[in-house]
Amino acid sequence: GAVITGYLGAPSQINAITNLIIQWQAAQPNGHYVLDPVLGDNGRIYVDDQLVSEMRDQLLPLASFLTPNQFELELLAKQPVTDVASATAAARQLLAQNPRLKGVVATGISGRDGRVHDCFVTCEDAIDLATNDLAYEKRPTGIAGGGDLLTVIFTSWLAAGQSFHASFTAASTQAHAIIDKSANHLEIALLENLYRLTAIGAEQ
């Protein structure tokens, strides 16, 4: 099984959610807790600074997987993230600091090639990142909900027993396919594009 936490509006929510996750993990020792931080984007923070620190101190140590965008990775690692190399370094730092953490999916990372990269880092496979990242053409505007969609696809594949690599690849490729086909690039046309979601375990 798997559970996701996403946007939180107040630091006061952290303690209650932390207790729920601890109880869930005791009942589901093989389950995956996926933390989608939803703290901000493009240098703009959405939440109280206290929420960031409490998420870092309480929820992150419980997480199996983390799905931050470039700005959120910076906030949690407390170090600059400007490209794939610095994203890798920040992810490795978080993995080293949080023994329960199995992997980091970093999305929307600026590439030196001018494109946007989604990349993953795990405890076992954090060295050869160049063969394990996916790059996309940079869009003129962002799209709300893209990270949420990627996290949901990633988690559904994990919950079905798929590998981290397969889950990451499915989530990144399918989320970007739907984003690219959304007529209004400020909002995902999800219902019209549900058919683009491939069956769990199918070849990408």
What is the model's pLDDT at position 131?
39
Q: Looking at the domain assignment, is residue 164 inside a domain? A: no
Say if residue 101 is exposed, middle or buried (CB neighbours under 10 Å; 0-12, 13-18, 19+): buried
Q: Looking at the domain assignment, is residue 82 inside a domain? A: yes
Q: Looking at the domain assignment, is residue 111 inside a domain? A: yes
CA distances from 122 to 128, 145, 173, 180 (A): 11, 25, 19, 28
Q: Which two tokens stand for residue 62?
A: 């419980």
How many domains does the chain contain in total?
Answer: 1
Q: Looking at the domain assignment, is residue 197 inside a domain? A: no
| Residue that has been written with the tokens 């109280």 in this structure | 48
Neighbours of 1 (CB within 10 A): 11
DSSP type of residue 202? -
> Are 42 and 189 a contacting pair, CB within 8 Å?
no
Q: Looking at the domain assignment, is residue 150 inside a domain? A: no
State pLDDT tens for residues 104-135.
999 988 887 777 888 999 877 644 333 345 55
Q: Looking at the domain assignment, is residue 175 inside a domain? A: no
Domain that residue 80 falls in: 2-140
What is the model's pLDDT at position 116?
82
State pLDDT tens for residues 146-194.
788 899 999 999 999 999 888 998 898 888 887 776 666 666 666 566 6
For position 122, which CATH number holds? 3.40.1190.20
Q: Looking at the domain assignment, is residue 204 inside a domain? A: no
Q: Looking at the domain assignment, is residue 7 inside a domain? A: yes
**133-136: strand order across its sheet:** 2-5, 32-35, 65-66, 103-110, 116-122, 133-136
What is the model's pLDDT at position 92?
93
State pLDDT tens for residues 183-198.
666 666 665 666 566 6
